[in-house]
Amino acid sequence: MLKRDRSKGFTLIELLLVIAILGIITGIAVPALAGQRRRARLIGDATSNTKVIQMALETRRAEMGAYGKPNDYMYKSDGTRPTAAGEDIVPGFTPKGNSKMDFKITIGETGLTYLITVTDPLKPSEHVLTADQTGGVFENKKY
């Protein structure tokens, strides 16, 4: 009599083990990738809105000789406009995109420098990015 070779194919336990391992890997990878997608969208929206603010500030400096009075100007995600300084240095600015962010524009003592700080209202202690009068936009690597 010939013996049959039983080494062909997989047992049910081996298949269940592979499926369990794939489930665990998927459970770890999917939330991490979803967070990266949100982060990429947030940084993209922040960068494009910051460029709009920078262009408006450069236009203001060309017309008036300075970016504005030394102060902090807040543009909140809920549509709140600056009121502390009594003026809106970026008139008509409305953030574009689905990401809701807060924009803080700090005009330096001479009125010839500025710093734009973008924060996510869900994580107000962490900056999404910053930009200055040199035209640079600097992404916060920790975010």
Q: Tell me the per-residue pLDDT of 83-138, one tens digit each, with 9 for 90 and over.
A: 655 678 888 787 887 778 889 999 999 999 999 999 988 887 788 899 999 888 78
Residue 82 has pLDDT above 80, yes or no: no
In order, the DSSP letters of the chain are -PPP---SS--HHHHHHHHHHHHHHHHHHHHHHHHHHHHHHHHHHHHHHHHHHHHHHHHHHHHHSSS-SSEEEEE-TTSPPP-TTSS-SSTT----SS---EEEEEE-TTSS-EEEEEEETTEEEEEEEEEETTS-EEE-TT-
Regarding pTM above 0.95, the answer is no
Q: Tell me the per-residue pLDDT of 13-30, one tens digit each, with 9 for 90 and over.
A: 999 999 999 999 999 988
pLDDT on residue 84: 56
pLDDT on residue 127: 82
